[in-house]
Amino acid sequence: MSGVHCHIGGLALLGPGLPCWAESKPVLAGRVPWQEAPPVVPPPAMLAPTERRRTSLVVRLALAAASGAVEAAGVAPEALETVFASSNGDGAVVGAILDSLAAPDGEVSPTQFHNSVHNAAAGYWGIGAHSTKPSISIGCHQDSFALGLLQAAVQVAGRGVPVLFCAYDAPLAGPLAPMHPTAFPFAMACVLTPEPTPATRAALTLRHLPGGAPAAPSPWQKLAEGNPAARSLPLLAALAAGGAASLVWPLLDDARLEVEVSPC
């Protein structure tokens, strides 16, 4: 099977001890030891002050990674189609809404309701980037990163357009937290293109195959188990190392995603 082909560049990430791509690259490549440190999520400079005040942690997390990827790729943000992938969505906001509904008055904040939809991060991105390009927001439990990457690559290969892909997740709140444990905030983003660009790091070949398979062993397994979006770390580590790699992720109950990384 030939698979789906695209090129990857414009990398960004934000997670524990991984504050940005430039500082994280030697850590991911194994040249510098990883040291745990809480991620610092900046306010989204791309938004006007009024919109910025309305954003939640999850939105700020996604926009930080997406903005970093676009800047690194050297492309206009409004020129990119987007795929945003998250397992939890804005779980903290959803939890706050449920608390409000359980209160005697049952009043829900309009801002919280506005932020509770699964495509809130994509919506804020469209506002900040002045983009009218198509956008897809995906949720697939533990496999959101793998499905989102596949979706973005298919758009690139099928329509010949560049796509911004962002995977992000943050801990859930209150009684929801034990339902889907998420240990820390994490986000990554990249720009996928049909042809190489000056920002290209590697070529990718993706294959969606029947038959489940566990993820390949990785030194980043512990972090990957703490946040669904951090399942991207084996790919990011391969890109940081700069060599060829064969990676696999489980995808739903009876399938898998295989990715071949080829240096450019």
pLDDT tens-digit series, residues 197-227: 999 999 999 999 999 887 777 889 999 999 9
- In the numeric block, which tokens belong to residue 150? 């596949």
> Which pLDDT band holds residue 112 (cuts at 50, 70, 90)?
confident
The whole-model pTM stands at: 0.95
Question: Percent of the chain at pLDDT above 90?
Answer: 78
Q: What is the pLDDT of residues 181-200, one digit of tens each?
A: 999 999 999 999 999 999 99
Q: Please report, for the chain, the start and end positions of each structural domain, with discontinuous segments joined by +.
A: 4-263
Q: Point out the least confidently predicted range of 18-32, 80-94, 191-205.
A: 80-94
> Which pLDDT band holds residue 97 (cuts at 50, 70, 90)?
confident
211 burial class (0-12, 13-18, 19+ CB within 10 angstroms)? Answer: exposed
Strand locations in 15-89 (E): 81-85
Q: Which of 36, 72, 25 is nearest to 166 (CA)?
A: 72
- In the numeric block, which tokens belong to residue 203? 């070529």
57, 112 in Cβ contact below 8 A? no
Quickly tell me which residue has 């932020």 as its tokens. 115
CATH 3.90.1520.10 applies to domain 4-263: no
What is the CA 120 to chain-centroid distance, rounded? 14
pLDDT of 186 reads 98
Mean residue pLDDT of the chain comes to: 94
> Which pLDDT band holds residue 1 (cuts at 50, 70, 90)?
low
Q: What is the mean pLDDT of residues 50-69?
A: 95
> Cα angle at 179 between 103 and 124, to 5 degrees?
70
The radius of gyration of the chain from alpha carbons, rounded to an integer in Å, stands at 18
Element (H, E) at 233: helix 233-241
Most confident of 20-29, 85-94, 213-222: 20-29
Q: What is the mean pLDDT of residues 18-31?
A: 98
Element (H, E) at 79: none
Most confident of 9-13, 97-101, 210-214: 9-13
Which amino acid type is present at position 27?
V
Neighbours of 14 (CB within 10 A): 26
- In the numeric block, which tokens belong to residue 93? 């906001």
Does residue 116 surpass a pLDDT of 70? yes
205, 238 in Cβ contact below 8 A? no
Does residue 174 surpass a pLDDT of 90? no
- d(CA 14, CA 139) in angstroms, rounded, equals 20
Q: What is the pLDDT of residues 226-256, one digit of tens each?
A: 999 999 999 999 999 999 999 999 998 899 9
SS3 content of the chain, % helix, strand, coil (to 5): 40, 25, 35
